[in-house]
Amino acid sequence: MKRLAFFPTPYPDEILYSVLCRYHMRCGIPSANQTSRALWGNGYGKKLYLPDGIENIAAQLPQGAGLTAEYFVRECTIFPLLKPFLKQDKCDELRDAMSNGNINTYNIVSFPRVFTLQRRYLAYCTECVEHDTEVYGEPYWHRLHQLPGVYICPVHGVPTIESSFAYSELHREYYPLPPASGSFVSYAPDIAEKMLDFALDTAWLMENGNDLLCFDNTGELYDKWLRLKGYRDHWGKTSNKKLALDIISYYGREFLTLLDAYSSGSCIWIKRMIQQRESFRHPLHHLLLLRFLAGSAEAFFMEPQRELPGYLPFGAPPYPCRNYLCEYHLQDVIEQIELRRAHGTPYATFICPYCGFAYNRKGKLPKEMHYSGHVCIVRYGWKWEAAVTELLIAGESPYRIARRFHCDVRTILTFGVDRGLLPPDRLIGQNQYITRVVSKPKEKQDSNDKRALYRKRWLDAIGENHAITRNELRLLESAAHKWLHTHDHDWLEQNSPTPKNKSPKWANSDDEYLKTVEEAVKQIRDSPGIPRRVSISSIGRNASIVKPHTRLTSDFMPKTKAFVAANVETLEQWQKRKIWWVIQQMRERGEIITVYKVRHAARIEDKERKLDGFILECIENSLKETASGV
């Protein structure tokens, strides 16, 4: 194995490209091409953020120096920034590609262009340059200064400077950090503050990302934080819209726009991130979300797991028994309830452990409202049943029992009859022992109200975001889209941005279509025998065009459309043409021509005899022509 004569030791936070620049300089090899050949085995360099095949270099370094491919991946690439946001298998795949070679590193993170979104030039911090020169004797390119969204040096808090070296050039040339060049940008104080926070979070992640777990864990943390902050409910439903709005007001539009995280007037990435948890998202978006949720990247990952507040739509347990007969009446004795949900409303059944009395309540109900108000009784319980049975056997009047036990007399009567304690004729009406609560059918919200509401929301969303695409709009206003798509389709079509790729392939062949269609029309008209009708269907058949009713009337093919429109026949036009043709035939054969014969021969069903006048006129004209010897 060939060994490199020497190799520079990477400085802290030095990006691999920078180490190679220093190697190139130190070697004194005249061309970058030669250096690349020596390092990688071919004349090109590698991608800045995610170089692949680092083992090529590591294998040429003396063992024992600790400069393994693994070391370079961890310390000299942006791998730690991605790791917490990649699923385990992707993470392993990426690590392997970077070590052993697979040029699809960007595809592995399923975001090929992710890091070319904002930054185009290598950047540096003047104070870092000064510090590095003093400590190490030379400046170098830091990883941190190249990362998306990092415009301020997290160490020195000053804006970084963009050099004139474009990322797109880096695989062809090795550019060591020059003493000073490029332009200095300054930011408004509030923006600068947010930028520094963002840079600090990124720095924290670069330092700790290698030791964090993969997305399988991060996803759970998201779930926890979203619930903790009230953006995800007990049942796992996330309020995407509220989250997006709150993030926008937290960071401000200006800052989000600077980070390219505010497109089409909203933060569409948030919804995508929350909904499609399996696919990789831009680390910049992750950083924005986790600071918003937890206050900082460090807090997000490291803060000891706080207990989630319980979901208590009925206030904190225990809850009271509501049985008048129970010695625990109105005392808090019910510790456990079973929560259910229907149409977003929580329901629960409360069962007293001392008397078996069970009742339902629904909706969010503060604790203090449990001691009064109507409850829906599910079961009276053994204590109640025993007491009523005893009294009925003793001959007590059901009315008095009902008064004493605070219930409807019909309840007592039904119970008595059910148990054979009272004769069946005591029943009043059809009441049952337990009144079945017939839930009122939920009144359908007037669909006109909905229509107006959703139309307005749809138009508002378009109004606010002029450049929005149909897909983005669908994500942003999914409820409105869903409803309108089902109930108001035509309106939705007319009031949506035109899809970018709407024009189909065949739309480019207007001239070609026109030619075939002209030919087809001619064929139909010239076909022997009784005239065939020129219609869209017959043209389609003759010219072998699929879906003729769509294509031949499409605005994508204006010439064809115009020609077809001018040539198709109405039923009447066709009938007249047939009539004229039949008369000509009869004339040629020297037959006596009558209206009936013509109508019959032309196979025209004309019960109202609308065409008789026309037929007669044609016959007369034909006779005139014969007479004049035409």
Pick one of 97, 153, 196, 274: the residue that binds Zn ion (CB under 5 A). Answer: 153
Q: For Zn ion, which stretch binds (CB under 5 A), given 46-54, 76-84, 102-110, 117-125?
A: 117-125
Name which of 257, 259, 128 is nearest 201 in CA terms: 259
Residue located via tokens 């490199």: 4
Indicate whether 352 belongs to the interface with Zn ion (CB under 5 A).
yes
Q: Is 164 helix (H, G, I), strand (E, B) or coil?
A: strand
List of residues 6+ apart from 511 with CB closer than 8 A: 559
Closest approach of Cβ 316 to Zn ion, in Å? 19
Pick one of 32, 125, 473, 484: the residue that binds Zn ion (CB under 5 A). Answer: 125
Indicate whether 69 belongs to the interface with Zn ion (CB under 5 A).
no
Closest approach of Cβ 384 to Zn ion, in Å? 9
User: Between the CA of residue 458 and those of 239, 349, 452, what are the distances in Å?
Assistant: 18, 40, 10
Q: For Zn ion, which stretch binds (CB under 5 A), given 209-217, 353-361, 503-511, 572-580?
A: 353-361
The CA-CA-CA angle for residues 424, 429, 435, to 5°, reads: 100
Indicate whether 351 belongs to the interface with Zn ion (CB under 5 A).
no
Contact call for residues 140 and 13 (beta carbons, < 8 A): no
Q: For Zn ion, which stretch binds (CB under 5 A), given 78-86, 146-154, 233-241, 598-606?
A: 146-154
Q: How many CA atoms lie within 13 A of 483 on its CB side?
A: 16
Indicate whether 156 belongs to the interface with Zn ion (CB under 5 A).
yes
Q: Which is nearer to Zn ion, 161 or 352 (CB)?
A: 352
| 414 backbone dihedrals φ, ψ, rounded to 5° | -60, -45
Indicate whether 568 belongs to the interface with Zn ion (CB under 5 A).
no
The CA-CA-CA angle for residues 521, 524, 527, to 5°, reads: 145
Contact call for residues 527 and 519 (beta carbons, < 8 A): no
Q: Which is nearer to Zn ion, 61 or 358 (CB)?
A: 358
Task: For residues 443 and 89, give the distance between their C-alpha atoms in angstroms, rounded to a whole number.
Answer: 50
Q: For Zn ion, which stretch binds (CB under 5 A), given 147-155, 227-235, 363-371, 424-432?
A: 147-155
Indicate whether 355 belongs to the interface with Zn ion (CB under 5 A).
yes
Q: Which is nearer to Zn ion, 35 or 323 (CB)?
A: 323
Indicate whether 127 belongs to the interface with Zn ion (CB under 5 A).
yes
User: Between the CA of residue 579 and those of 162, 294, 424, 531, 560, what are the distances in Å?
Assistant: 84, 85, 87, 9, 29
Indicate whether 196 belongs to the interface with Zn ion (CB under 5 A).
no
Indicate whether 155 belongs to the interface with Zn ion (CB under 5 A).
yes
Indicate whether 330 belongs to the interface with Zn ion (CB under 5 A).
no
Q: Which is nearer to Zn ion, 186 or 486 (CB)?
A: 186
User: Between the CA of residue 268 and those of 240, 277, 465, 476, what are the distances in Å?
Assistant: 10, 14, 12, 7
Q: Is 555 helix (H, G, I), strand (E, B) or coil?
A: coil
Indicate whether 171 belongs to the interface with Zn ion (CB under 5 A).
no
Closest approach of Cβ 356 to Zn ion, in Å? 7
Pick one of 321, 534, 564, 579: the residue that binds Zn ion (CB under 5 A). Answer: 321
Q: Which is nearer to Zn ion, 6 or 371 (CB)?
A: 371
Residue numbers at the binding site for Zn ion (CB under 5 A): 125, 127-128, 153, 155-156, 321, 323, 326, 328, 352, 354-355
